[in-house]
Amino acid sequence: MPIQFGTDGWRGIIADDFTFENVRYCAQGVSDYILAQNLANKGLIIGYDTRFSSEEFADTVAEVSAGNGIKTLLCDRPVPTPVVSYNVLFRGTGGACVITASHNPPQWNGFKFKPEYAGSASPEIVDALERHVLSSETRKYYKHVRWEQAMSQNIGSLIDPSLPYLQHVSTLVDIDAIRNSGLRIVADPMYGAGAGYFTTLLEGGALNIVEIHDARNPIFPGMLQPEPVAKNLVELSDIVVREGYQAGLALDADADRFGLIDEKGNYINPLQVLALLALYMLEVRGDKGPLVKSLTSSNMIYRLAEIFDVPVFETPVGFKYIGPTMIEKNALLAGEESGGFGFRGHIPERDGILSGLFILDMMVKMDKTPSELIEYLYSKVGPHYYRRDDILYDPIIEESIKEKLNDITIDSIAGVNIKRIDQFDGTKFALEDGSWLAIRFSGTEPLLRIYSEAKNEDLVDKLISEARNFVGV
């Protein structure tokens, strides 16, 4: 089966389809792309996370890259994806490869490519990469050299990418105010590459911060997968309540997604976090600029845009769509339902670490706990409730689901009239009361996702239930 890049890179089961041989084909495809773009002298960064054999897979990519005569910069430790991406800009390289499966379960690994603009590869770049990878795969062809040889020939070198990133983010947020705030915070990097970043940035003042799950463990014990969603943050929530912390901050395995637990142990969902970040940028910081949201993200963004007189642009799911739109529109903020948020003046890419810092700064500047921030947000936009069901389905029914969604004849759902149906990424129903329902296949896992947002919980549940009945899952 040909190697294909999904929402953000190629992912596979380790030792099944994610093998060293296939990683070499993928690396050769990237190398061919770099060479075709005349970027070999600018170089290629290779990063990796804390999953099984990630460093060995990264070494494999580096050996292929160097074997093709490309200046290759290999990270000397597991590194968050946004740290790698920032180093593309800082070092002026032709791009970066990151060995990570992000939030997927432990048996997965993956391969991300970040072009020279330091974001997710656009659909056009993905198409070019897949052509090059297919050529390598079909011919069973790749070039490579031993890494020791690459280093001796000065075409390969090891780098520590963390310092430039830490220095940069310290200019984007009032670190001293957070450090001296006296807040009590607990962070959960979920055994991933983001371990130590919050403490490194924030220790040394009146702030009390501790980290849990900060040692490498590629099994990710105690969680279904290293994704910062409610079901995986039970321990974090319990600690916040038991120990009296004012917030819990969570990162996924490669630290490009962010999760938030309030002082009462409640999970603040990503739609709420995006709206909080928009309110922070527009009101607390007084910044102006377009907002970018994926189609499954919150309608609260439209209401905030009305209040502060800024435009909103909606894209399909994934930063391969969001990132280029951020660049094109010089967007102030961008976000998606999965917990990924990007910011102007940084990289056109998700950054869970910077997202957490901005939330802390909002707490300090407004002197409010996370639950109080939500109350203040709802005073502006009204209450909004959200739910997402991830359904593992039998592949045999995939085509029948698609047929049902392509041949919709209904004019209402859960008693609410349908205002509009969008099908540029799955199927989204915009309802007359401002609620919405979306159904789409995951671009990273074999899951059907059903999403809904409404002004009361009962309606959210009804919409999800009717959607499941409609598609037969």
What tens digit of pLDDT does each residue of 117-154 get? 999 999 999 999 999 999 999 999 999 999 999 999 99
Per-residue pLDDT, averaged over 9-27, amounts to 96
194 vs 123: which has the higher pLDDT: 194
Cβ atoms of 143 and 28 within 8 Å: the answer is: yes
214-270 pLDDT, tens digit per residue, is 999 999 999 999 999 999 999 999 999 999 999 999 999 999 999 999 999 999 999
Sort strands 44-48 and 412-413 into parallel, antiparallel or unpaired. unpaired
327 and 345 within one domain: yes
Q: Which of 385, 294, 271, 340 is nearest to 119 (CA)?
A: 340
Q: Which of 355, 381, 407 is the last residue of a domain?
A: 381
**Do both 352 and 393 map to the same domain?**
no
Q: Which amino acid is at 178?
A: I
Instruction: Say if CB 114 and CB 88 are below 8 A apart.
Output: yes
Asked if residue 88 belongs to a domain, the reply is: yes
For residue range 25-35, list pLDDT tens digits in order. Answer: 999 999 999 99
Q: Are 409 and 457 members of one domain?
A: yes
pLDDT in tens, 41-62: 999 999 999 999 999 999 999 9
> Per residue in 104-114, is it b (16+ CB within 10 Å) or e — as a string?
bebbbbbbbbb
Residue 58, token pair as written in the block = 């990264």
Answer positive or negative: Cα dihedral of 15, 20, 22, 23: positive
Question: Cα–Cα distance between 350 and 334 in angstroms, integer?
Answer: 9
Find the radius of gyration of the CA atoms of the chain.
Answer: 22
Question: At 330, which CATH number?
Answer: 3.40.120.10
List 267's β-bridge partners, or say none: 261
Residues with Cβ within 8 Å of 286's Cβ and at least 6 positions away in sequence, in order, are none
Give residue-wise pLDDT tens across range 73-113. Answer: 999 999 999 999 999 999 999 999 999 999 999 999 999 99
Structure tokens at 39: 């970027």
Same domain, residue pair 377 and 407 = no
Residue 400 in tokens? 């029948």
The chain-wide mean pLDDT, for the chain, equals 95
Query: Would the CA dihedral through 198, 368, 229, 98 be positive or negative?
Result: negative
Between CA 385 and CA 402 the distance in angstroms is 27
Whether residue 27 is contained in a domain is answered as yes
Inside any domain, residue 4? no
Predicted local distance difference test score (pLDDT) of residue 247 = 98
What angle (nearest 5°) sits at the alpha carbon of residue 187, between those of residues 186 and 190? 140
Give yes or no: residues 136 and 244 share one domain: no
d(CA 190, CA 216): 9
Tokens of 110: 């993956």
Pair (448, 360) in one structural domain = no
Q: What is the pLDDT of residue 1?
A: 63
Of the chain, the percentage scoring pLDDT greater than 90 comes to 84
Q: What are phi and psi of 53, to 5 degrees?
A: 60, 20
The CATH number for 454's domain is 3.30.310.50
Based on the fold, state whether residues 328 and 247 are members of the same structural domain: yes
> Both 92 and 154 in a single domain?
yes
Q: How far is the C-alpha of 74 from the C-alpha of 55, rounded, in Å?
A: 10
Distance of CA 11 to the CA centre of its chain: 14
380 φ, ψ (degrees, to nearest 5): -90, -45
User: Are residue 243 and residue 361 in the same domain, yes or no?
Assistant: yes
Same domain, 54 and 201: no
Domain boundary among 381, 414, 449: 381
End-to-end distance of the chain based on CA atoms, in angstroms?
27
Neighbour count for residue 458 (Cβ, 10 Å)? 10
Share of the chain above pLDDT 70, in %: 100
Cβ 64 vs Cβ 27: under 8 Å: yes
- As for how many domains the chain has, the answer is 3
Q: Does 5 map to a domain? A: no
Report pLDDT for 295.
87
Residues 138 and 67 in one domain: yes
Whole-model pTM: value is: 0.92
Q: Is residue 3 part of a domain?
A: no
> What is the per-residue pLDDT for 255?
98
Average confidence (pLDDT) over 408-425: 88
Please check whether residues 453 and 354 belong to one and the same domain: no
Please give the residue range of the domain that contains residue 412: 385-471
Place of tokens 């996702």: 449
Domain boundary pick from 360, 381, 402: 381
Q: Is 167 domain-assigned?
A: no
To which H or E segment does residue 308 belong?
helix 300-308
What is the distance between the alpha carbons of residues 416 and 412, in angstroms, rounded to a whole number?
A: 5
Query: Which of 150, 168, 167 has its CA nearest to residue 158?
Result: 150
* Structural domain includes residue 168: no
* 382 CB-contact burial (10 Å; exposed 0-12 / middle 13-18 / buried 19+): exposed
Of 86, 123, 116, 93, the closest CA to residue 8 belongs to: 123
In a domain, 112, yes or no: yes
